[in-house]
Amino acid sequence: MRPAVYAAGVTVSIDDRTLVDACDVTVGRGDWVTILGPNGAGKTTLLHALAGLVPSAGRIEIDGAPIGHLDRRARARAVAVVPQSPTIPRGMTVAHYVLLGRTAHLGPLGRESGHDRSVVDRCLAQLDLEALAGRTVHTLSGGERQRVVLARGLAQEAPLLFLDEPTTALDIAHQQDILELIDTLRQRLALTVVSTMHDLSLAAQYGDHLVVLQAGRVVMSGPARQVLTAPQIERHFGARVDVIRHRGALVVVPRRTPSNQGDQA
């Protein structure tokens, strides 16, 4: 079976700076692959390259088709990208913003059909946003807004969902809600998910396969139990941690350097 995403030797350079350097990534159908790495490692750039949003060298295939062969509409039907900080027009209601996800499906006159509106209604219902449909997006809480942005991505009805830091700026309860929702929708709608993430414990719980970047290069790739070990995290993230298993899941706990102040009393 062909993978949902196949990438070999992907390189992204701006001016004379290489942001992503010869990266290989394979994403199986129905999998959730999470891209990890320290700040500035190139996570978002690689995600955007895989989605065809930035020019890159190397080979990228979406369901076996070279991404360069897909025009903008075809790419939007294949890949839905949920950005970390989306541009939301001031005064736009939730329903109208989610409807923007149907742009790639609109006819020649650019008018939505009854089917487009039914898709939006379904996405609002799936994310428990029906009561907020008439509200302007800017009046919502962070967690509500995150669900609205996700609803727009789902409205594209693309089999691939790319998420850039989906839990940024959310409290722990909303982080859990969003990730549980994504995982539920992945299984219910047979989606393939590719995300970037900072929190290693959350990545371990929700990612089937982890890809670790450092300075634009893939330095590790595999399941959480192989990738998230204390020595590897110290080496690639520069962090001293303990990795423990709790209720079947890996948890990454920062290890504080012991203080000698108490000994001086």
Share of the chain above pLDDT 90, in %: 77
What type of residue is 50?
L
* Residue 120 domain-assigned (yes or no): yes
Q: pLDDT tens digits for 169-182?
A: 788 888 888 899 99
> Which of the residue ranges 21-25, 111-115, 178-182 would you say has the lowest mean pLDDT?
111-115
Number of domains in the chain: 1
- Give residue 229's pLDDT: 96
* Residue 109 domain-assigned (yes or no): yes
Pick from 253, 200, 247, 265: nearest CA to 227: 200
* Residue 113 domain-assigned (yes or no): yes
* Residue 241 domain-assigned (yes or no): no
Domain with 148 in it: 88-157
Query: Strand 192-196 to strand 217-222: parallel, antiparallel, or no bridges (unpaired)?
Result: unpaired
> Which of the residue ranges 18-27, 44-53, 239-248 would you say has the lowest mean pLDDT?
239-248
Q: pLDDT tens digits for 71-88?
A: 999 999 999 999 988 888
| H or E segment to which residue 187 belongs | helix 172-189
- Give residue 263's pLDDT: 53
Q: Can you tell me the distance from the alpha carbon of 113 to that of 141, in angstroms, rounded to the nearest whole number? A: 30
Please give the model's pTM, rounded to 2 decimal places. Answer: 0.90
Q: For residues 222-261, b (16+ Cβ closer than 10 Å) or e, as one string?
A: eebeebbbbeebeebbeeebebeeeeeebbbeeeeeeeee
Q: Nearest 5°: CA angle at 241, between 234 and 45?
A: 55
In this structure, what are the phi and psi dihedrals at residue 125, rounded to the nearest 5 degrees?
A: -70, -40
* Residue 24 domain-assigned (yes or no): no
Q: Can you tell me the distance from the alpha carbon of 11 to that of 46, in angstroms, rounded to the nearest whole number? A: 8
> Which of the residue ranges 17-26, 157-166, 171-180 would you say has the lowest mean pLDDT?
171-180
* Residue 57 domain-assigned (yes or no): no
Q: How would residue 258 be classed by pLDDT, with cut points 50, 70 and 90? A: confident
- Give residue 265's pLDDT: 46
* Residue 98 domain-assigned (yes or no): yes
* Residue 116 domain-assigned (yes or no): yes
10 Å CB burial of residue 182 (0-12, 13-18, 19+) is buried
